[in-house]
Structure 1
């Protein structure tokens, strides 16, 4: 079977799938918006500060012969973002919105599908919100459809979002687009799943969100790999017990990731013995967060190497998310020696060996968050042991295994 893989921006999991497809000898074509390969003009341009965004679009040179680019809409989105042209970026309607980038890219893939011998079995591998036109073309040409669902299916997400908007109305504006997606966008998601022959998910939380009407579809659960960390990057700072316990939250600063509950937990604790460090992108003016909990230390986003360095200055990682797929930042934190406090909805339930690598808590429970932070505060001598265990457990999740699970399932699909 030959596979056509498509994703407009590409991230670590897309790169892993692409690399695995090349190594298995079954990649037919790889569509993306912008791809910089080692030594290429785009790769050199990425070293210019103005074009640093291109560093996120670097790919292994083995993909170069298979890659087809459709850059124009994505270039427009990046420039519009830099120029703060908000009207061009409006959700769904803006000409350079993420939705429009995905839709035009999807149409491009469908219109440029490689024509091959009909005797060769083929499959289209595409991602949520960017698969509909590709899958429609595939079905017309007897091509299998592999659907990658990286976050909980929209029905589960919307239900939880609406409940959160009612529970914590002050945080409603931080929930993101999932609460206000148009019916047209939701219909596209439904149709994409309907057309799928196989669904790839990163966690049990996402798998369990798939609706009953799609239960008969082949579902492949493959957890993301832990980012590789060099030895030079992985020296955990030894922290004195005489200093506050540093609890880290990292991610977009909204209630989708449960930040409102973490702030509520800090208000319950009401102690200077715990320092909350919040790193991520603002979803509201900074004054909003200070009004909710004034005592946190804000750290803006930064290059990945510096993120890891910040993690090593902290003691515990907390992510009480309401809706995720599988938050990769959990494994990054563990790789830096941080035990974790998370909800099942982070998609990382399997990362928890209770009391060894961290603690699993229910969603919407500031009391439980406060209880576990208090445990770490009162048992600081246990943190080095849990730190070592967290590192070891995180290392059992590799990108090689992530890709292999998917490739093996694709091969089974072709039999």
Structure 2
């Protein structure tokens, strides 16, 4: 089976699927927004930081199979740097991420008949919010539709987040699209799932979020990979005479349970626990300081500096209400941090209770505080737990993620597809 894949930005999980499809000769092509060329002579004139950012959008070895539509994505990236970020922030913004997804989806759908005449393929593979028009045309052309859902299905997400807006109303300002998505966008999400022949996700939390009517579809679940290079043994102990450093990484909202973490940390004195947050504020910093005055906010930085920050901390905490599978958990583990997470992070399989960390219920500052207290009382156990976390994270690879999806696609006997007008 030949598959044509479409995604606007080529995230790490997308690349793993691309590489695995190409390796076994199943990749017909890749539809995206921007694809950089490593050989472009003008790159030498860019500052190093911009050059690295640009090359993140390169697809070595796949250039002949890449179809691009760059204008809107380039506008989305450039406008904030020109002080015009208002044109990128909302669902219906001129160059927001939603506009980029919709534009790529519509254009790919229009192109499918011509692409299919040039080269045969049997299926399209597209992602949530960028699949509706593609799948409609694919059905018309007799192609099969593979739908990648990297986060919990919208009905489950919306229900949980609306409950959060009632439970912690002050934090509702941080819930964003989870409760603000338009009826039109939600209808598209539903139609995408209805049209899909196969649904791909990163784990049991996404699977369990699917509506009952969709469970007769072919379901493929494969956990994301961990950063390369983890699994080595920690050699340097950490200072136990300072406060316990608890790290949170992610957008600073209640979808990720930050309000619950704040309330847990309030149960300790500043000489006991130091909360370090690396993430993008979703409202004013005054709001966050009003909720917890003592946390340390770290701004965005190059990846190697993120890893350095992780190594300076003791424990990673992500008490999310809704995720798909937060990649940052495995990244933190790869740097020797045991976890305190909820099952709703999608990472329950990462926790070997008491060895690599602890699972806590959602919406329970008390349970978070209980585990922080355990780490305070057992500081000497943290290095060994960190080593176990590193070793466990290293068992999850991006190669296995992609190859597992491809293998299961090949194993699934996809239903026949009839033309729909």
Structure 2 length as normaliser, TM-score? 0.94
Higher relative contact order, structure no. (Cα contacts within 8 Å, ≥ 6 residues apart): 2
Match of 1:195 in 2: 195
Match of 2:29 in 1: 29
- Using the TM superposition, give the Cα deviation of residue 365 of structure 1 relative to its aligned residue in structure 2, in angstroms: 0.4
Match of 2:13 in 1: 13
- Using the TM superposition, give the Cα deviation of residue 121 of structure 1 relative to its aligned residue in structure 2, in angstroms: 5.3
For structure 2, the 5+ residue unaligned runs are 415-421
SS in 2 for 1:390: helix
1:387 & 1:200 partners in 2: Cα distance? 31
**Superposed CA RMSD:** 2.0
Q: What whole-Å deviation, never above 9, does each CA across 1:290-339 have from its counterpart, x for those lacking one?
A: 11111111101111111111101111000000110000000000000000
Q: What whole-Å deviation, never above 9, does each CA across 1:56-104 have from its counterpart, x for those lacking one?
A: 3232x11111111100010111112222324422422211011111101
2:367 & 2:230 partners in 1: Cα distance? 35
SS in 1 for 2:61: helix
Q: Does the CA contact (< 8 Å) of 1:36 and 1:42 recur in 2?
A: no
Higher mean C-alpha deviation, range 310-319 or range 35-44: 35-44
Q: Does the CA contact (< 8 Å) of 2:242 and 2:271 recur in 1?
A: no
Q: Does the CA contact (< 8 Å) of 1:46 and 1:53 recur in 2?
A: no
Report the CA distance shift for 1:378/1:202 in structure 2 as closer, same or farther (over 3 A).
same
SS in 2 for 1:57: coil
Match of 2:288 in 1: 289
Q: Does the CA contact (< 8 Å) of 2:230 and 2:394 recur in 1?
A: no
Are 1:367 and 2:372 an aligned pair?
A: no
- Using the TM superposition, give the Cα deviation of residue 402 of structure 1 relative to its aligned residue in structure 2, in angstroms: 0.3
2:50 & 2:238 partners in 1: Cα distance? 38
Q: What whole-Å deviation, never above 9, does each CA across 1:84-129 have from its counterpart, x for those lacking one?
A: 3244224222110111111011111112225447995511000000
Q: Where do residues 54-69 of structure 1 align in structure 2 (5 Å cutoff)?
A: 54-59=54-59, 61-69=60-68
User: What is the total number of aligned residue pairs between the two structures?
Assistant: 413
Match of 1:144 in 2: 144
2:44 & 2:129 partners in 1: Cα distance? 31
Q: What whole-Å deviation, never above 9, does each CA across 1:179-212 have from its counterpart, x for those lacking one?
A: 0111100000000000000000002111100001
1:262 & 1:177 partners in 2: Cα distance? 21
Q: Where do residues 124-273 of structure 1 align in structure 2 (5 Å cutoff)?
A: 124-229=124-229, 237-273=236-272
2:95 & 2:55 partners in 1: Cα distance? 21
1:173 & 1:234 partners in 2: Cα distance? 42
For structure 1, the 5+ residue unaligned runs are none
Are 1:308 and 2:310 an aligned pair?
A: no
1:312 & 1:90 partners in 2: Cα distance? 33
Structure 1 length as normaliser, TM-score? 0.95
Q: Does the CA contact (< 8 Å) of 2:38 and 2:55 recur in 1?
A: no
2:224 & 2:122 partners in 1: Cα distance? 25
- Using the TM superposition, give the Cα deviation of residue 177 of structure 1 relative to its aligned residue in structure 2, in angstroms: 0.8
Higher mean C-alpha deviation, range 233-242 or range 214-223: 233-242
Q: Does the CA contact (< 8 Å) of 1:317 and 1:338 recur in 2?
A: yes
Higher mean C-alpha deviation, range 116-125 or range 377-386: 116-125
Match of 2:347 in 1: 348
